Structure formats: C-alpha cells, structure tokens
Amino acid sequence: MGLWCAAGYADTADNRTVVGVDPDLSNGALAIRMGSYEEGIRLTERGLKGAHSKRDRAAGLSNLCAAYVGLEQPDPAIELCSQSLAINSNNWRTYSNRAAAFTIKGLYSEALFDLDAAAAINPGARNLEVLRQILNERRLRPKIIMEDHQPTGLFSE
C-alpha cells in the first residue's frame, strides 16, 4: 500500500469509509483500502452509475480520489475530490485526500489549505498530522536550479 493511502486510512477516530448499499461501492472501497487501486476504481465507477443518494455519490467520488492518490495521479484525484466536496463539503477525509494530491503535484499552499479544512472538521485525525509532516518535508527540500550553458559562438569552434 502506498504512503498516501496508508496516511489516508491510519486514523483511529473514524476508520470507516462511508458507502451505501451498492455492493460495487462497498467492494470498491475495500479494494482501495487494500491497495488494489485499479480494481477499486473499476468497482467504484460501476457503483457510481447506480448511486442515487448524494451521500453515496460523494463517498464514491472521495474513494475514487483516494485511489488516484494511491496511484500518484494527482490530476484526476483533485478533480474527483473537488466533485465530492461540491456535494458534501463536510468530509474531512476528502479534504485530506485532496491535500495529498496537491502535495504530490507540488501545490503546497493548496495542500495546506485543505489540511486546515480537514483539521477544522476532525482535529483529532492522526493521518492529518502524518500528511502535514510529509507536506512540510517536501516544502522544505532545497531546490537546486541548474542552468544549461551553451557556447555563444565567441569561443566555440
């Protein structure tokens, strides 16, 4: 299981993924938790086709976001988390998943904003502290910029 997914599911306050009665959504969530991201995506997408409640749809989109974070594909993850948050803006785990996606992409200000939003909803979530440490480590890495120098013609052959 990747670091991002492990960080996303390490919380003890509430370690449940909320899904509805659709077996594809339930099995998709389980596959994602187990690190079988492609299978989880396949099942969740199939389950979302029949998801009628806003709660099921928001949870399924959040789970898809987590799977793409696990695959370290931040662009679809960010889009899916944003769709989920448009339906339910009170899901701390979705903010956490999107923060991980922003961190992968190097968008640290956005990641910090989402971490703060997640912490406001669930201040005791341990995985938020883990993700904050990852974010801080990446933000503080020294950046070395190398410049290519090509001969200008003055001294070149």
Question: What residues contact 43, with CB distance under 8 A and at least 6 apart?
Answer: 24, 25, 27, 28, 31
At residue 9, the pLDDT reads 41
pLDDT band at 129 (very low <50, low <70, confident <90, very high): confident
**Amino acid occupying residue 74:** P
Mean pLDDT over the full length of the chain: 83
Q: Is the pLDDT of residue 3 over 50?
A: no
Classify domain 16-136 by CATH architecture: Alpha Horseshoe (1.25)
Average pLDDT over residues 50-69: 92
Between CA 68 and CA 50 the distance in angstroms is 21
Under a CB-based contact definition with an 8 Å cutoff, are residues 126 and 11 in contact? yes
Average pLDDT over residues 38-48: 96
Every domain of the chain and the residues it spans: 16-136
